[in-house]
Structure 1
Amino acid sequence: MVYRVWKNPEGQLSWLNNALKNPDIFCFADFTCRRTATECLKAQPEEENRLISSWRSLNLIETLLNLSETGVYSSCVELFKFPLTQCPDLLILGLLQLSSLWNKLKQELISVLIPIFLGTNPNSAVILQNAWNQTYNGQLIRTIIMNAMTDWYMKSSDQEQSSRLTRILDVSQDLKALPFLLNGLPLAFNIDLACLAARRGYLKLDKWLTDRIRDLGVITLFFSLLV
């Protein structure tokens, strides 16, 4: 009954919200549910933290995603703010393991989560590998990852750019994603990444430039560089 979408979504969301805030009274982890598989994680979620334990329930995540399509989207987003900050690795694994369910909120959550694992999270490598190698909606998830990398770099300060570009190159090498990234946009990001990759010996810069000019056209490339 709890995990079924009710005819009164506002009432159901209120019930779920109060349960999540008071796990000493009702904790989803105490009851039978489909649980997120976390064996792959280097750093496991805190077992004793009851607020986090509730988010091991795939049924809970699935219910909130479904509820987001019933007119309570912003309220569902609010409920996800806790796992986004307190157990992002647990949340993204849950979203990825719900492979057959895809909607606007799921895409938005994954887009917000990916930059977290471009940082220093101890589970970054396994999470990014897991996401990149998804088979269901795999191309869409890869696009989200590449867009997140690009935005993460383009929005960085002058002091952050060098370290972020290095991190992106390291991640893209691990994922074997460099060719995909270098064929995307914006060109300013592509050129910075290509130059670093060439210095590392991962890329022949003259060949890459020739190929890009051929693909995009000289005029497009020229104006893109000006911008």
Structure 2
Amino acid sequence: MTPQGSRTGTDSGPVCSASRTPGQAAQVVSGHQPWRVLATGGRDREDKPRIWAAFDDILTLHPQLTVVQGAAYPRPECGVRPDRSADWLIHLWCERNNVTEEEHPADWDTCSTPNCTPNHRRTRRDGSTYCPDAGFWRNGEMVKLGANECVAFPGKGGGTRDCMRQAAAAGIPVRPHWLTPADRPGGGHMVTSSMPLLQDPLFQAPDTRASAINRPFRSITQHD
């Protein structure tokens, strides 16, 4: 599968673009194409050496590599983004190693589905509102684009675990890199759609409306 909107890593993301029948399993890419990695991780992850080492290992095995990630980047501090958030650290690794990157930022300003419940939007400090499901919907769209594997760096939030769950349910092997051994449910290293880990609360989105697996496809748009 060759997704539209591919590009090398820059600061703002493209529109997710794909088309498939709702409920259809994501395609696991094969053949002589670049190895395609769906990367997901917590905004609180700061373990740059560990994350970079994981991708160094992947690049050694797969010199032709494409990394897909959700562009959940930290806000600049004094004009510079800190080395925080798995997506940002992965982006920096892609830039350093000249690896093709696809960034798919969530569209927080637009409701992810016309069926969103009334008054579900939340308010930012500046008074503007956003759709709390946007990140989960974006996860589903990235999964639909297909991947050879999903490499995950879970943090404290539920978004990464939701992406892991959706990827595993779609048949994409999931390789989690837990921050500490205590974070690892059941002690498993690899997650597949047949494993009971998918029923573990750690893999569930905090809001049941968040699952994008069976929703009709809607492209997300770039946001600030």
TM-score, structure 2 normalization: 0.30
Query: Per residue, is there more strand in 1 or in 2?
Result: 2
Query: Per residue, is there more helix in 1 or in 2?
Result: 1
Q: Which has the larger radius of gyration?
A: 1
Higher RCO (CA < 8 A, seq sep 6+): 2
TM-score, structure 1 normalization: 0.30
